[in-house]
Amino acid sequence: MQGPHGPFFARCARYFSARGLETHKINFNGGDRLFGWADRQLSYSGGQAGWPEYFAGYLRQHDIRAVVVYGDCRYYHREARAICDEQGVSFWAFEEGYLRPDFVTLEQGGVNGFSGIDWSPEAVQRYQPHGRSGKVHIGQTFWQRAWFAIAYYVTSCFFRREFSGYRHHRPRNCVQEGICWLKSFYRKGLYKLTQRKYLNALVERHDGEFYLYALQTQDDFQIREHSAYDSIEDSIAEVVRSFAQGAAENELLVIKHHPMDRGFCHYGKLINRLAREHKVSGRIVYCHDLHLPTLFKHAKGLITINSTVGISGLLHKLPTITLGCALYNQRGLTHQGALSEFWQSAQPVDSQLFRQFRTYLYERTQLDGSFFKDMDHAVEQAWLRMAPVLVSGIERPLPQIADEEEYLAA
């Protein structure tokens, strides 16, 4: 079904097809078709109301044994997941890497809050590692993402009449998306020049005296589906209010904008108003492109809703609190009390437990590679992860494997 912007799903389809599987691709708009490839491609131009019946019939008609999506919260994917459960069809969800930037996520059944893996401390501590180690360095992918997104939305706009029943999971049309990406280009250069001073000031004058609140994108399904917040604005209001009431007077709150949201929204006016209302003007820093590892090294604590930035903070032994549902929100890793308590008595990170957790997370959910650059690494590992479920019954099946973990370790 729908994949990340760009040719990643097409490469997966070609790779799987070359190994004996028949691949199908359902396109919902022109952008899907631009980057799509499969042995059989078709376009769904009906509305959302007719989708569940259509999809259920398609699975039965073509004897589909696995469905692969990017993100499991979009309407079409969420309905597909429920139908797969009803029909006993294997459902696989890709997502951005829980670990960044050199990994992508692939789980059977769902990701993030819908993950079917046991994330309890007991399961993590019982796990016997297989010794996998990442060997791919991807680095930044902003320009690849931007190009793929522009091509996707321009093509979708051009063919919008053909797919008149399609409703995108984001509220903007293709023209608005294009304008936002142009703003991203401009602001990326601007902030690189104008915000350098913030990092030096924080490191030299406020070492260990600031809390970092790492924002997520405004369209993030993690917010909509796996938190109690209606918007990023609501979370900012709560964090600023709590900071003003509970933090020491010499401490700062650094609110960092998400880099992929750079051209889509700006919270400066809201933050300034909240700072005045709560009498903490001068103690809040709103920034965009500061170096995260440096901020982690000098911060006193990290606040997030459920971003994977939290995992990076734990790696740096930074006391962390999550305000929503997160895989890593468990005793021994994150602060388990209220936000009001975090400012004065943040619970420390159990480094040993985190090392075990990271290994468990990596070996069970992560693929080395990227959706946007050096994609072949992730494609090959996706095949290895999925093959034990998919290969039975094709003309040249792989050896039968009883345990996926043993297969991956080999």
pLDDT in tens, 247-264: 999 999 999 999 888 988
Domains of the chain, first to last: 8-145+367-409 (no CATH), 197-357 (3.40.50)
The rounded distance, in Å, linking the Cα atoms of 292 and 15 is 36
Q: What is the mean pLDDT of residues 165-176?
A: 76
Copy the structure tokens of residue 104: 């992508």
Dmax over Cα atoms in the chain, in whole Å?
Answer: 71
Copy the structure tokens of residue 44: 């769904």
* Three-state DSSP state, 264: coil
For residues 296 and 84, is the Cβ–Cβ distance under 8 A?
A: no
160 contacts: CB under 8 Å, gap ≥ 6: 29, 30, 166, 174
Name which residue leads in pLDDT, 199 or 133.
199
Task: Give percent of the chain with pLDDT exceeding 70.
Answer: 94
Sheet holding 103-108, edge to edge: 66-70, 90-96, 103-108, 366-368
pLDDT value for 171 = 67
The rounded distance, in Å, linking the Cα atoms of 356 and 321 is 19
- Between the alpha carbon of residue 293 and those of residues 228, 261, 385, the distances in Å are 28, 20, 31
255 contacts: CB under 8 Å, gap ≥ 6: 213, 215, 236, 239, 267, 271, 284, 285, 286, 287
pLDDT value for 235 = 97
Strand partners, 303: 213, 321
pLDDT in tens, 65-79: 999 999 999 999 999
Judged against a pLDDT cut of 80, whether residue 340 lies above it is answered with: yes
User: pLDDT class for 392, splitting at 50, 70, 90?
Assistant: low
When mean pLDDT is compared across 27-36, 142-151, 227-236, 385-394, the lowest value belongs to 385-394
Name which residue leads in pLDDT, 217 or 409.
217
- Between the alpha carbon of residue 27 and those of residues 3, 44, 64, 239, 369, the distances in Å are 10, 6, 16, 41, 25
Burial 213-247, CB ≥16 within 10 A → b, else e? bbbbbbbbbbbebbbebeebeebbbbbbbbbbebb
Note the pTM of the prediction, 2 decimals.
0.87
The rounded distance, in Å, linking the Cα atoms of 22 and 163 is 25
Copy the structure tokens of residue 165: 């029943």
Copy the structure tokens of residue 72: 């499991």
pLDDT in tens, 186-244: 888 888 888 888 899 999 999 999 999 999 998 888 998 999 999 999 999 999 999 99
Name which residue leads in pLDDT, 85 or 374.
85
Compute the radius of gyration of the chain from its Cα atoms: 22
Q: What is the mean pLDDT of residues 13-41?
A: 96
Task: Give percent of the chain with pLDDT exceeding 90.
Answer: 75
Copy the structure tokens of residue 230: 């209606």
User: pLDDT class for 406, splitting at 50, 70, 90?
Assistant: very low
279 sits in the region (left: phi over 0; alpha: psi -120 to 50; else beta) called left
Residue 179 CB: number of other CB atoms within 10 A?
13
Burial class (CB in 10 A: 0-12, 13-18, 19+), 132: middle
For residues 232 and 213, is the Cβ–Cβ distance under 8 A?
A: no
